[in-house]
Structure 1
Amino acid sequence: MDRRKFGLVEHGGFLMSDPVNNPGPCPLWHRAWYLNRHSWLSALGGALIGAGVLAWAGSVSAIEKQEVQIELLTASKNKEIRAGEMLKIGFSIFDKIRRKPVSGLHPAAWIRPKTPGRKSCENAVRNYLALGPNASQDISLNGYTFVTLNRDNSIAVIDPRLNLATSNLLFLAQLRATPGDWRMSPNRKAIYITLPGKNRLLVFNPLTGQIDARVNVIVNPTTMAVFEGLSSVWVGSGSNGEIQGVDTRSHQIFRKIKVGRGKIYFAQDNVRAQLFAYASGSGQLIVLDAKRRKVVRRLQLEPHLADMDYSALTDKIYLAHPRKGYVLSLYPVNRPQVEKLMISGVSKRVNVSPDGRWLMASDGDQGQISLVETKTGNMTHVLRFKHPFDQIVFSKRYAYIRHTDTANISLIYTASLAPGAEPGVIEVPIGTKPPKAVGRLPPLPAIAPLPEGGGAVIANPADRTLYLYMESGMQAPMNAFKTWTAAPLSVMIHDRSLREARPGFYETVTMIPQPGIYEAVFFLPNPPLTRCFTLKVKGNSLPHSVRKKNTDQPTITILSPPFIAGRLVQLEFTIATPLLPPGKVRDISVLLFRPGSNWQLRTFAKSTGPRHYHFSVVFPSPGNYKMAVESAQLGLYLSQTNLKTIKVQDQ
C-alpha cells in the first residue's frame, strides 16, 4: 500500500504528514501512546459530570487474558449512556498474579460504531495505527481539539486530525460580547469565559459546542481562577476591587468579597488551594482559602502595581511595579515581610517559570526582560529584543515570547539560565504577517503548550492560522491548521486523553453524538494487548433540549437564484425540520467555500420568518461553491455531510 495517497509518510516510528503531496494534519494528535509521554497524566480528582454525585453504572465488562484483567466502566447522569450527553469512561487494569493495579501505562482507546461487516477488533487496531481514526465516525479517547476565541466574538472547536475546509471545524458559537478571560475546568468538561461588557460569566461545553450557562456576575469581570477538585470559579473585577465565587454545579454566586479599589489581579497556590487577590487602586491584598471559601489574611501594599504571580518553590508572590525599577516579593501567609528585588528598567508583567526557579519581569513595549533567580532574589540576566512583545507563555522547557510587530516568536531555553551562563534564545517565524496587523490585541494567551510537552500551538490572527511548533530543534512550524472562522485571537487545547485517576484506573470525559451500538476499543502497545467492549447508546442525536419525533435530518433549501459574481446578494434559504425547538433558532451559522481555492466565508444568518434565513455575500468569481449550515439547536453540525452546491454565474 502506498501511504502517500493517504497523505502520510512513515518516518522514525511516527506517521507524519507529507508536506509536498498532501499537507494535511500531523497524526501525532491521535497517536499519543507512541510518544514518550511524561507525568502530566495526573488524576482528575474524582471529577463529577453535571450536577450531583454520579455512581459508576451503565456498562461494566471484564475480559481476562493471562495475568491481566481489564474492566470497562462508564458513568453518566442518568446511569445509562445517552446520545449527546456527558459520559465518563474509564478502564481498570489489574495484575492478577501480583494482585495489584497496573500503574504508569499509556493506553490508547477510541469508540467506533459497531456495524455488520466491520473488521475484527485486532484489524481495527492495525488500521488505526496505520491510517488513524475515521474522524467522521470514530471518537478518539487519546486526542486533542483546539478551542479558539475569535475576532468576531465567537468561540470555535477545531479537530486537528483533519485539515479540510469543512471538516476541522466542529463547533462555532457566538459569545455576543468581547471576552476578557477564559479558563478550562480541571475536569476538562467546561470552559469558563468572562464578558466584561455584559458583566457575565459563560460556561461553554467543548464536547457539544453549546453554552450551558450564562451567569450574571460583578461589574467588569476580567480575570478568573479555578482549582482542581473544587466546584468553584473565582471572578475578579477590572474596576471595582471586588471578587466573587461561583458554584460550578448550580451556577450560583456563593460569596462576594470586597478586596479594595481598582483592578483585581490574581495569583494562586494550587497545592494548598489558596487564592491571592490584589486591588491595584488601593493596594490591598487578601489571601483566600479556596477550600473553606474564607479570607485568612489581609495586607496593605503599595497601590498601582501592575501584575502578580506565585512561585511554589519559594512560596512567595511577586508583583510588578510599572513605574519603579523593582519587583515586590513577599511570603503572603506566614511571614508577610515585603522585599524589593531590583531589576533593569520597570516591569509591567511578571511570569514565574513552572518549576518556580525563574522570575521574568518584563516591559514588553520596550522589548526587555529582567531574569531573577527566585531563591536568591538576584537579577542574573537582562534580555533585550528587537521587537516589542505582549505575552510570555511557558512550556516545560522553553519560555515563548509573542512579538506583536513581526510574525516571529522568540524562545528562551530555561535550562540555560544559570547565573554566568549565556541564555539560549532563538527566533522562529510563525506565519507571514505580524499579529498586530488585525488591530488591537487582547490580553489573552495566543500560545498553548502541548500537555505532554515538547511543543506548542500558536495562533497568528493575521494569518487566520494555528501553527504547530515542535521544540526538537525545528526552525519553523511543523504544521499549520487554517481556521475557517474569524481571526483566532487566543487558543486553548482541550485534552481528551485518558488519565490515570487512581492506581490502575484510566479515565476521560467524552460525548457520543448519535444513538446506536458502539465498540470501545482498548489497546496497549507493549506488551500488545487489545480488547473491545460493546456500548449501547440510547436517546436521539439532538442535544438534550431538542427532542425529535423521528430521525429525519433537517432539509436545507437555497432560494433566490441566480447568483452573479461580483455583486452583493442576499442569499436566502429555508430549513425544514419535523420539530422546531421552542422559541427562535438563534445559532444558525454558515460556511461558504469554493473547492480548489482559498476563498471562504464564515458568517451568521439572520431570521426573516419561521424557518427562513438570509445573509449577505459577494461571490468573487463564477463557478461552483459549497455551503454548510450549523445549528446546535437543530442538530446540524459541520462534521456531518450537509453540503449544498451553489452555482454562481458570470456578469
Structure 2
Amino acid sequence: MLEREDVRIAFSLRPLASGGEVKAGADAWASFTLTDPRTGEPLAGQRPLAWMTPRAGEQAPDEKGCKTLVSEFLGGLLSRKADVDMNGYMAVTLNEDNTLSVINPQLAFSRTKLFSLISLTGAPADWVLHPSKESLFLSLPGANRVAVVDTVRFRLRGTVPVGKGPTRLALSPDGGLLAVGNDGEGSVSLLDAKSQEVLRTLPVGPGPQELVFAEEGRMLWVSGRGGEVLSGVDVDRLEVVERLEVGQGVTSLAVSDSARAVYAAIPSRGEVVVVDSAGRKVAQRISLGEGVERVALDPSGRWLFALHRDTGKVSVVDTATGQPRHVFEGLVSPDFVTFTPQFAYVRDAGDKRLLLIQRESLAKPGEPVTLRIPFAQTLPGKGDEAEGAAPVVPTPDGQGVLIASPEDRALFFFQEGMMAPSGSHLNYGRRPRAVMVVDRSLSEVKPGVYASAVKPSQEGVYEVPLLLDSPRRAVCFEYRVAPGATAQARVPKVEFTALFDADKRLHAAQTTRLHFRLVNASTKRPLRPQEVSVLLFKPPGAWQRVVEPQAVEDGGLEVSFTPPSPGQYQMLVGTRTPASPLGKLPPLTLRVGPAEGPPPASLHVQETPP
C-alpha cells in the first residue's frame, strides 16, 4: 500500500484459476483500490492508467524514474513497450465461416494483428457480452444451443442446449439472467448467466422475437413478429405476468429506464408503439410513416432514432414530447445506428459512407449538423449479417468507431475529427458480419476499485506503474511473478521455411506454385495440408484469397498463386490450431510485375542434403 497526502492506493494481483501466487504465462486479476486517507471513503469516478513491465536492473525506480516509465508508456515508444498494458481493448469479429477473430488494435492499425481465432459449432445469430467482460454468449440457431466464450483467455468454454432455433439474446443489467429467444418454437429460455443453467422456458408466441430488460432488470419484454402481443416476464417470479396487444409485426424494441418506457417498431403500420412498462399499458402510438424497422435510443434517452430501411430515411423522435423532431432523407437503406458522446452513426446498407449526426445539434433550432464519411471500398450489403449483432461499435474512449466491412474482409477505424478512416485491419480473408469491443482497460468494478485481467509473460520482479488523473500522480508498485509454463510453452511451436526464391519477381495473370515447409518445432514432423492455413493478399486488402495447400513428395506443401495485377502481395502461413494461427508468423512479401511470357511451372528450390 502507498499513501500520499490526498490518496491511499492498495494494489493486489491474484490468479484467476485458483489461489496462491501468480505465475508467468497465467491469467491473473489486477486491482487498485483508491481511498481518501482522511475519511477512508472510496475515490470513485477515476480514470487510472496502469502497466506491468519487468524490472530493468537491481533497484526499484525512484519517484522521478517512475514518472519516466509512465511517460515512455504514454508516448507509445516501440523501444519501451510494457509487457502488460491495462489500458487497451480487443476487437472481436463475428465471421461468416463460424469463427471469431480476436484482434489487438493497439499493436498497429496499419496491418492486422490477430490475437486469437475461435471456432464455433454453427453460425451465430446474436451475441452479448457479460458486464464483467469475462464471458461472451452467442446464439447458434442451427445447433439449438448457446455458446459461451471465455473473453479473458479468448477460448470456447462450452455450449448450452436451449430451445429450438435460438436467435435474440439479452442480459439483465446486473448480468445475472440471460434471456434467449427461441424463434423455432415461440418460447424464451431464461438462464442463470453464471452457471449457464436453464431456469425456465416460457411460451411467448411466434417469432422472430425481440427482447429487452426494463425497470432496471425487474421486467423482461418479449415481442414476436408473427403475433400481436408484447409479453412481460417478471424476472423474480420467472413468469409471464402481462400480455399487451400492440399490433402484428414488431421488428425492434428499445427501452428507457428513466422514462420507464418500451418502444416497439411496427413497419406494417408505420408507427412506434410506446409502452408504459410500470403501468403495463400502451401509452402512445407515434406515426412515422412506412417502413420504420429499427429503433434505438441515444445514451441520454432524449432522442429515439427510427430507421426506415425500405424508404431510405431516419426519423428522430423527442421522447420528452413523443413527437418527431427531425427527418433525414436521401439514404438508400439505413439499417443500423450507434452512438458516441458526440455523434449518432448511421450505417446505410446501400452506401459506402456513414451518416454522422451531431447529437448536441438535435435540440437546437434549425437543421442538425450532419457529415457523410466514406469508410469502405465496397457496399456493406445486406441480408447476410447477424441481425442482432452490431456492424459498427464505438471505441472505449468514445472518440471513434470500428466498422465491420464484410465485402472488404476488413475492419475500418474512424477517429472523430478525421474525414476518412484512420486505419484498417485485414481479417485474413474472412468476412466480418459484426464487430464487438472487449475493453481490457481498468474498469471500476465497485466504488474506488479499478481492475483488469492481465497475463505477465515472464517470471521475476515487475514494476507496476499507475497514473492517476485526479489528483494527477504517478506511483509505482512491484510484484514478483513466480516461474511457470507460459502459454506459449504449452503449445507446440512451428517452423516455416520457404522453399522458393521470395525475391524472384513474379508476373500478373500467371500461375505460380509456391513451395514451402511447415514443421513442428519440437518433433520436426511436417504438418499435413489439413493442418495448415494459407492466405494470399494484396495490401490493404482489395484482393485476398484463402488457398488450400497441397502435399508434395518431399514432405513439403504447395499453393497456387495467380496475382491479378502488378504490385506487392503478402503470403501468410499458419496452423488451424492454437500453435501458430494466421498472423503469428511474419508475412512473406511477393513482388509481382506486369504480365509477360509463359507462367513458371513452380518456384521450387532443391535443398542440398546435409
TM-score by length of 2: 0.81
Cα distance, 1:190 vs. partner? 2.0
Letter matched to residue 112 of structure 1: T
Give me the whole-angstrom Cα distance separating, in 2, the residues matched to 1:323 and 1:597. Answer: 42
The one of 275, 278, 289 equivalent to 1:344 is 289
How far apart are the structure 2 equivalents of 1:92 and 1:170?
30
Aligned to 1:73: 12
Give the counterpart letter for 1:250 in structure 2. S
Decide which of 475, 483, 493 is 1:530's aligned counterpart.
475
Instruction: Check whether the contact 1:265–1:308 (CA below 8 A) recurs between aligned residues.
Output: yes
Cα–Cα, structure 1 residues 91 and 465, in superposed 2: closer, same or farther, change >3 Å? same
Seen in structure 2, the aligned counterparts of structure 1 residues 527 and 164 have a Cα distance that, compared at 3 Å, is: closer
Shift of 1:408: 0.9
User: How far has the Cα of 1:323 moved from its partner?
Assistant: 1.4
Q: What residue in structure 2 maps to residue 111 of structure 1?
A: 52
Q: 1:559/1:441 Cα in 2 relative to 1: closer, same or farther (>3 Å)?
A: same
Normalised by the length of structure 1, the TM-score is 0.77
2:71 to 116, 126, 129: 126
The 5 A counterparts of 1:319-338 are 319-337=264-282
Corresponding position of 2:608: none
Given that 1:619 and 1:648 are in contact with CA atoms closer than 8 Å, whether structure 2 keeps it comes out as no
Matched, 1:618 2:557: no
CA contact (8 A) 2:533 2:576 kept: yes
User: What are the residue-to-residue correspondences of 1:380-529 with 2, within 5 Å?
Assistant: 380-418=325-363, 421-436=366-381, 440-443=384-387, 444-472=389-417, 474-512=418-456, 517-524=461-468, 526-529=471-474
Looking at structure 1, the residues matched to 568 and 326 of structure 2 have their Cα atoms a distance apart, in angstroms, of 59
Q: Which amino acid aligns with 2:9?
A: I
Residue identity matched to 2:289: S
The letter of the residue matching 1:555 is V
Letter in 1 for 2:419: Q
Q: For 1:348, what is the secondary structure of its paired residue?
A: strand
What does residue 629 of structure 1 align with?
574
Offset from partner CA, 1:108-136 (integer Å, 9 cap, x none): 10122346579945232232122346797
Instruction: Return 285-294 or 202-211, whichever deviates more.
Output: 285-294
Question: 1:605, CA displacement in angstroms?
Answer: 7.0
Alpha-carbon distance between aligned partners in 2 of 1:335 and 1:622, rounded to the nearest angstrom: 64
CA distance in 2, matches of 1:94, 1:410: 44
Distance 1:356 1:597 in 2: 39
Structure 2: which amino acid aligns with 1:212? Answer: R
Q: Work out whether 1:370 is the aligned partner of 2:308.
A: no
Contact 1:517 1:535 in 2 (8 A): yes
Listed one character per residue, the Cα deviations across residues 301-356 of structure 1 (whole Å, up to 9, x for unaligned) are 42222222212232121211221232222213424135322223342222222222
Give the conservation status (yes or no) of the 8 Å contact 2:273–2:286: yes
In the superposition, relative to structure 1, how do residues 82 and 193 fare at CA in structure 2: closer, same or farther (>3 Å)?
A: farther
Report the equivalent of 1:174.
Answer: 119
Write the distance in 2 (CA, Å) between the matches of 1:335 and 1:113.
58
Note the C-alpha offset of 1:180. 0.9
Shift of 1:585: 12
Question: Are the aligned partners of 2:356 and 2:370 in contact in 1 as well (CA < 8 Å)?
Answer: yes
Secondary structure of 1:124's partner? helix
1:100 aligns with 41
CA distance in 2, matches of 1:600, 1:344: 42
> 1:483 deviation in Å?
3.8
Distance 2:512 2:124 in 1: 31
- CA separation of 1:454 and 1:590: change in aligned 2, threshold 3 A: same
RMSD: 3.8
Using a 3 Å threshold, how does the CA distance of structure 1 residues 314 and 178 change in structure 2: closer, same or farther? same
- Matched to 2:561, the amino acid is V
What amino acid is the match of 1:129?
L
SS in 1 for 2:142: coil
1:140-155 to 2 correspondences below 5 Å: 140-155=85-100
**Post-superposition CA distance 1:550-587 (Å, at most 9, x none):** xxx5233559879996447586745426599xxx9998
- What is the Cα deviation at residue 531 of structure 1? 0.8
Q: Counterpart of 1:226?
A: 171
1:113–1:283 CA distance, 2 compared to 1 (3 A): farther
Instruction: Give the letter for the 1:379 counterpart.
Output: P
- Aligned partners of 1:514 and 1:540 also within 8 Å: no
User: What amino acid does structure 2 have at the position aligned with 1:500?
Assistant: E
Q: Contact 2:211 / 2:253 at 8 angstroms: preserved in 1?
A: yes
Query: Number of residues paired by the alignment?
Result: 574
Partner of 1:242: 187
Q: Are 1:306 and 1:319, in contact at CA under 8 Å, matched by a contact in 2? A: yes
What is the SS of the residue equivalent to 2:243?
A: strand
* Equivalent position to 2:204, from 259, 263, 266: 259
Q: Amino acid of the residue matched to residue 49 of structure 2?
A: A
Offset of residue 210 of structure 1: 1.6
CA–CA separation in structure 2 for the residues paired with 1:236 and 1:407: 32
Distance 1:632 1:187, change over 3 A: farther
Does residue 89 in structure 1 map to residue 34 in structure 2? no
Task: Structure 2: state its 5+ residue gaps.
Answer: 593-598, 601-610
> Match of 1:191?
136
Cα distance, 1:515 vs. partner? 5.4
Tell me how far apart the structure 1 counterparts of residues 50 and 182 of structure 2 sit (CA, whole Å).
Answer: 42
C-alpha deviation, 1:192, in angstroms: 1.6
**Structure 1 residue 482: Cα displacement:** 4.0
Structure 1 residue 410: Cα displacement: 0.7
The structural deviation recorded for 1:91 is 0.6
Corresponding letter in the other structure for 2:443: R
Partner of 2:495: 556
Q: Secondary structure at the match of 2:292?
A: coil
Q: Quick one: distance in 1 between partners of 2:474 and 2:32?
A: 13
1:529-550 C-alpha deviation (Å, 9 max, x unpaired) = 221321414532238xx957xx
Tell me the SS of whatever aligns to 2:310: helix
Deviation at 1:248, TM superposition (A): 3.2
Report if the CA contact (8 A) 1:173-1:587 is conserved: no
Percent identity, aligned pairs only? 25
SS of the residue corresponding to residue 271 of structure 1 reads helix
Partner secondary structure for residue 75 of structure 2: helix
Shift of 1:485: 4.2
CA distance in 1, matches of 2:122, 2:557: 22
Unaligned runs of 5+ in 1: 1-61
| One-letter amino acid matched to 1:411 | L
SS at match of 1:262: coil
Quick one: distance in 1 between partners of 2:421 and 2:110? 20
Contact 1:188/1:509 (<8 A) preserved: no
1:101 is paired with a residue whose SS is coil
Q: What is the match of residue 213 of structure 1?
A: 158
Change (3 A) 1:253 1:588: farther
Q: Deviations over 1:437-489 (max 9, x none)?
A: x98444232111133423222223333343333334x4333444444442323
SS at match of 2:124: coil
